[in-house]
Amino acid sequence: MKPTNPVFTGIQTTVFETMSRLAMANNAINLGQGFPDVDGPEDIREIAAQALIDGPNQYPPMLGLPELRQAVAEANERFYGLKIDPQSEVLVTSGATEALSDCIMSLVSPGDEVVLIEPLYDCYLPLVERAGGVPVRVRVTPPHWHLDDDALAAAFSNKTKAVLINNPMNPTAKVFSDAELGRIADLCRQYDAYAICDEVYEHLVFDGRKHRPLMTFDGMRERTVRIGSAGKTFSLTGWKVGYITGPAALLDPIAKAHQWTTFTTPPNLQKAVAYGIAKDDSYYDGLAGDLSRKRDRMAKGLEALGFDVLPCAATYFLTCGFSGLGLGVSDVEACETLVKHAGVAAVPVSAFYGSDAPTGFIRFCFCKQDTVIDEALERLDRFLTAARAESA
């Protein structure tokens, strides 16, 4: 038999699915895969439910329901001062993952270099490779996940077609500084590169910080596409509704990739997300406030147990060192130990690297009910106490 495509052949199932399966098999509390354990706002869900009954349930327009594209355009102006034409500069997709795929398939040609920042979200590398692109990886390094100027500059060349940046960043919980974004923008202009901005955590930013899209930097409006996800903004990860905002000249080929991928996204979900996006500031402030309290609750508990908890400015993830806790030498081993013996699932951060990954960090997801966070901390405490007693 002829070989199937090597990008997808023989590779591992995503770490999120793997850890969720292990969590289920071991009856563990799942702090691995990132999803809230309480569904998002009921009024948004009611609109989706009613629209399912009322219909129409037929193909919506290929670019997305006009009311959702309008809502996305308005949100760009409201939050970032970006003036976006809803007719030609917004595309609705079936999740941010499809949006990333559409952008990469349509902007990257075989042989083009694409600058990626590690640790990276796990679909970036295979998608770039499947498009025939050549990934050029740059790293941010713990504990502050600072982006080194020289390493960044060295990654760009005349062959660079695009940079793909995830800001706020999973799993580091980093918000890129204006200085870092400014340098990325300078390099994009210098080398005439596109920027594909995965900004799914745009509204999960804490402690009074504000997300600033790379698209708002000088000269970036015409070369940047930015991706959002209703899954994150409304705690409805199963809905898989995403949106891309970008200049018409780029959105046009991206929409062509979309038309051969999913073509459209369920209309009832689009209608409900359009309503959700227009929610007033109290919704957005409440979401960030709730999550930052959960972050503090979990960080305090993990620190008390001896984990080395790194700073968390955004997202719903805490990255921790675990040395000295007897969980094993690598992050994969530590996660296996925790899910099987402590009853708590986490994710090894090495899964977010192409190769030569650091192996000293694991990621816990904290968008869980307080009782669940407390129970997870108790389970970890019981396990670590018993392990210490055994080794004494």
Q: Which is nearer to ligand PMP, 269 or 335 (CB)?
A: 269
Nearest distance in Å: CB 34, ligand GLN: 3
How many other C-beta atoms can be found within 10 angstroms of the C-beta atom of residue 320?
A: 24
**Applying CB under 6 A, does 198 fall inside the site for ligand PMP?**
yes
**Residue closest to ligand GLN when measured from CB atoms:** 34
> What tokens does 265 get?
């996204």
For ligand GLN, the binding residue among 93, 106, 160, 170 (CB under 6 A) is 170
Residue 106 engages ligand GLN in binding (rule: CB under 6 A): no
Computed from CA positions of residues 215, 221, 224, 229, in that sequence, does the dihedral angle turn out positive or negative?
positive
> Smaller CB distance to ligand GLN: residue 16 or 353?
16
**By CB under 6 A, residue 16 contacts ligand GLN:** yes
**In angstroms, what is the minimal distance from the CB of 268 to ligand GLN?**
22
- Give yes or no for residue 233 binding ligand GLN (CB under 6 A): no
Burial of 7 (0-12, 13-18, 19+ CB in 10 A): middle
Pairwise CA distance, residues 155 & 172, whole Å: 21
**To which residue do tokens 């504000």 refer?**
210
Length of the chain: 392
Q: Residue 226: helix, strand or coil by DSSP?
A: strand
Q: Which is nearer to ligand PMP, 169 or 380 (CB)?
A: 169
With residue 364 as reference, give the H or E element that holds it.
strand 361-365
* Choice between 70 and 166, CB closer to ligand PMP: 166
DSSP code of 350?
A: G
Is 94 near ligand GLN (CB under 6 A)? Answer: no
Sequence-ordered list of residues with C-beta below 8 angstroms from that of 315, at least 6 positions apart, any chain: 34, 168, 169, 170, 171, 173, 201, 204
* Closer residue to ligand PMP in complex, CB, 213/343: 213
Which one of 51-59, 79-87, 236-244, 333-341 is the stretch in contact with ligand PMP (CB under 6 A)? Answer: 236-244
Q: Is 276 in the site for ligand GLN (CB under 6 A)?
A: no
Q: What whole-number distance in Å separates Cα of residue 70 and Cα of residue 38? A: 28
Q: What residue 33 binds from ligand PMP, ligand GLN, none (CB within 5 to 8 A, per partner kind)?
A: ligand GLN
By rule CB under 6 A, what count of residues binds ligand PMP?
14
Residue (of 236, 269, 232, 270) closest to 91 by Cα position: 270
**Number of amino acids touching ligand GLN (CB under 6 A):** 5
Per CB under 6 A, residues contacting ligand GLN are 14, 16, 33-34, 170
